[in-house]
Structure 1
């Protein structure tokens, strides 16, 4: 097929002419590729994802190695398993889930066929979308995932609409620009897949400079998309992104990043000579960006600890859980827990804080690697001079007493190992309702919220607990399971709570992942075991947990304190690559040594 003529941007570029020509040619290739995509049948698209599964599997080990090394995790470091899970594993399970969706649609079936639905609080419908296979139930024993739909959405509407753009596969969605995240290597790939399958949109992926070292891996992993013109990958900084967002050949922009970057794209710079024009545009609601944009942005994620009667082992396990929420990827996560909402009336408050300090101290040392991370730590030290510095001195623990100012902690996404504890009065339902209101009203963003509650207390609260969960205005709510589990589960949607606008973007607009391609989504809800194996076998846990507490995992492999996390994370990924049950059995043995 002859190459289409370059589609040039009307802007005067500040880039070298050769680079401009290269970018224009990439956009032109994609406009041809968009037409090619519209001619593929659903069955052909499913087979294409099968080829992608093979090409990702072929580079998975190199992918994890390059990503870990780029973050300062040298061979032998106990946390290198993070890069297996957040890179190739997340990509492989997404490819499998999307392929099953396409195969169902090709048979004339809804992707939700066989998925259980029931009622959620507030007149909502929910779908139980994890686990959907026995393998999922084995690998992630005790974890479940639900999609809650908008109030008023009916089961017939949801099932009929499942498939999104794949219900009209011949309608092209144009060319999208994906401005890739710089912190987690699977995010750019997953965003490209969602553009293609949810919107029939081929993508120009601009990789964040922090991931330049992974680009050769991406090029081989995604060759089945690159060869037919469904994807082009380019490097560059803000100047390249600025040129491409204004390119007339780009129909849509998607960004994973910070709200400040989003605002600069949509409205213009907030400082310098052009800031006055930016202020006028915002006041007059005249965005600088003249095309649609979606976004997944960060925020300040709460960890609500509901008071209960916890054993010493409970305190230690959940303290490690909280430490993981903050320290995974050195805190450079949009879903990192940042503010622990803790009852000032809980008799075990000081015991829990002691266990939390111990967990922060005990986690393996690692670099604060993301650009400007040291500046974020310095800002926290300036904001809170009395902060405790744990471990290797890079982990801040900030306690805010009742009545003390917490504005900086609650409105600054530090994107570094900074964990705050904010005291709220109350016990039981009173505390939970106060914490929910505080999270909704005082903390920046709406991406994810975490709730830790023992099964006895949850059973005592009954339906009021579920009502409180419904009141949380977050895109993912995780009960006894970190919101990262929602990120890793492809059948769940990922994004901020609905209602954000370009004027007030909160944690973003739209969703990604969502491999069942369902519409009218309000949120995802995940649930995990309060107690790991073997304590999950205790009669009280089984009888009072409504079936949600049992687990055969001694410790999840993503815990920063897991002794076998790297081996188990690699083993889980290799099983997703080849389906070898013999090797999986050996991996599960390692999991029991965590």
Structure 2
């Protein structure tokens, strides 16, 4: 049986007038199948998915790279290995471990160090989860912070979410997939199935139409028993699906404008509905909608090598996937009183200009870049005009940079006064109050400065109202480290959705999540030996400046597929050449 409908398939079912009748019928049967499966059988099913994802990984990565204009020899093609099959395999491993632990009568939190974060919050140090994690992401650690009203007892009691009641009747959910990162729709499907006990109809974004046959192979163990159906389609198809009576829930990864259209409609109809508090959508909806991500650079005494490395880090935050990321860093906040500010900005200009050129491929990205250039006539056009660097002298002139998610290679820089705690507190307040969205924030700080700030640094991190925070790391790594949660800071509503509602990933299936916090090493190997968190990675493979990124990213994925020590050793040797 085919599991896809072509983008122009709007032919109603002859008997019911429902163009999605076949898929809905299959999913209703699949819901009964899912309800009948034990936790052990569900874990076995995910192991089968793991095998099919591994078998499809090369086609997945190479097709994704081609759709984004990356040739088979392009140095950045490794991005599609890491952000596609690699992230998916990591999530499957995490969910399998959780299901197996629950099947044994345990809790997903068993063995996880639990402590207290500022404000009395419970924090769980969930990463590294396995010894191998300290090799694959050397020098990184991650925590999930729960909301202040959630106790340790609450966390232990609710960990497992829907899998605590596996025999509860499953429902039907709709996932409207993202078009930029290929693992997003797959990871959203997994979360719906496991955290929420819903079989899923996935409508892919048209940018990923060529990947549908690969998704069908990779997810065949979910498709065959009716737990998943995949359809193609444009906005009209998506709109029709959101009004279909079969679904009890919708999850969307996209823009706030699309969310509002689903919930309230468009034009005068939307205004009237808002005024009457009469939403067009009556079923629950969750969403991940992006925002303007800050990169806070805390001033310190940095070496020339530190300046270069962190400049390349920031260039990566903006240029990975050509800036077509909901979590791409967009506004760099530096100190106007930092003696090294000009030296740092020169390093940033060089790193941003010299990163490998690539197409600006996402729909309407070039128009958004043109709008940014028009708003800032002094913007620097770099890399043959395919990226913009905007340095704003007065923060009051940065309104569009701080309120428009460009979803394109546009990087802004603003300066605030102060040093030490004064600057950090001001930067946190600026990010909270002036930048649109609450999805992710990045903070760069050297170890000596962090030590000087002491408890003030962690208090500032607690004050950042973002669902993902990366310290000496990029929040894109939070996304790919799927034991961590991914989603906006709590507070989004149908009326004012912000960066979204709810979380995904979260392979321990924890409830009451406020945010995830990832820490990385300030310096790469071998300079990591001098402090700032030890790491064996010379240059992380997701850096746009890594000379070995393509080979290392593919090698890490192939290791995840087969767990071969020989493949891992060969890949690490390549990584040491970065």
Which TM-score band applies after superposition, normalised by the shorter structure? over 0.9
Match of 2:171 among 171, 174, 178: 174
Q: For residue 523 of structure 1, what is the aligned residue in structure 2?
A: 515
CA apart distance, 1:475: 0.2
Match of 1:388 among 380, 387, 405: 380
How far, CA to CA, are the matches of 1:314 and 1:30 in structure 2?
A: 53
Q: For residue 481 of structure 1, what is the aligned residue in structure 2?
A: 473
Question: How many residue pairs end up in the alignment?
Answer: 570
Match of 2:539 among 541, 555, 564: 555
Contact 1:338/1:420 (8 A) holds in 2: yes
How far, CA to CA, are the matches of 1:283 and 1:431 in structure 2?
A: 41
Q: Does 1:508 align with 2:500?
A: yes
CA apart distance, 1:392: 2.4
Q: For residue 410 of structure 2, what is the aligned residue in structure 1?
A: 418
Contact 2:171/2:248 (8 A) holds in 1: yes
Which runs of no fewer than 5 residues in structure 2 stay unpaired? 2-7
Q: For residue 451 of structure 1, what is the aligned residue in structure 2?
A: 443
How far, CA to CA, are the matches of 1:187 and 1:495 in structure 2?
A: 12
Where does 1:493-504 land on structure 2 (aligned, <5 Å)? 493-504=485-496
Q: For residue 537 of structure 1, what is the aligned residue in structure 2?
A: 529
Summarize deviations over 1:366-395 as a string: whole Å, max 9, x none.
000000111111111111111011222211
Contact 1:15/1:239 (8 A) holds in 2: no
CA apart distance, 1:404: 4.0
How far, CA to CA, are the matches of 1:396 and 1:259 in structure 2?
A: 24
Contact 1:14/1:239 (8 A) holds in 2: no
Q: Does 1:156 align with 2:156?
A: no
Which runs of no fewer than 5 residues in structure 1 stay unpaired? 4-12, 270-274
How far, CA to CA, are the matches of 1:454 and 1:39 in structure 2?
A: 53
* Secondary structure of residue in 2 paired with 1:204: strand
Q: Does 1:215 align with 2:212?
A: yes
* Secondary structure of residue in 1 paired with 2:377: coil
CA RMSD in angstroms comes to 1.3
How far, CA to CA, are the matches of 1:324 and 1:187 in structure 2?
A: 20
Q: For residue 5 of structure 2, what is the aligned residue in structure 1?
A: none
Contact 1:357/1:390 (8 A) holds in 2: no
CA apart distance, 1:156: 1.7
Match of 1:586 among 570, 574, 577: 570
How far, CA to CA, are the matches of 1:313 and 1:52 in structure 2?
A: 43
Summarize deviations over 1:493-546 as a string: whole Å, max 9, x none.
0000001101110100000000000001100000000011101101xx1xxx5x
Where does 1:74-473 land on structure 2 (aligned, <5 Å)? 74-269=71-266, 275-402=267-394, 404-473=396-465
Contact 2:10/2:19 (8 A) holds in 1: no
Contact 1:411/1:443 (8 A) holds in 2: yes
How far, CA to CA, are the matches of 2:368 and 2:249 in structure 1?
A: 32
Summarize deviations over 1:280-324 as a string: whole Å, max 9, x none.
111222111111100011100000000000000000000000000
How far, CA to CA, are the matches of 1:173 and 1:345 in structure 2?
A: 58
Summarize deviations over 1:541-582 as a string: whole Å, max 9, x none.
1xxx5xxx1111101000000000011100110011000001
Match of 1:572 among 556, 559, 571: 556
* Secondary structure of residue in 2 paired with 1:501: coil
* Secondary structure of residue in 1 paired with 2:108: coil
Normalising by structure 1, we get a TM-score of 0.95
CA apart distance, 1:22: 4.5
How far, CA to CA, are the matches of 2:202 and 2:294 in structure 1?
A: 31
How far, CA to CA, are the matches of 1:403 and 1:52 in structure 2?
A: 49
Normalising by structure 2, we get a TM-score of 0.97
How far, CA to CA, are the matches of 2:275 and 2:417 in structure 1?
A: 40
Worse-superposed segment, 376-385 or 103-112? 376-385
Summarize deviations over 1:443-472 as a string: whole Å, max 9, x none.
000000000000000000000000000000
CA apart distance, 1:17: 3.0
Contact 1:28/1:249 (8 A) holds in 2: no
CA apart distance, 1:29: 1.2
Q: Does 1:73 align with 2:57?
A: no
CA apart distance, 1:15: 3.4
Summarize deviations over 1:373-428 as a string: whole Å, max 9, x none.
11111111111111011222211111111354111000000000000001111100
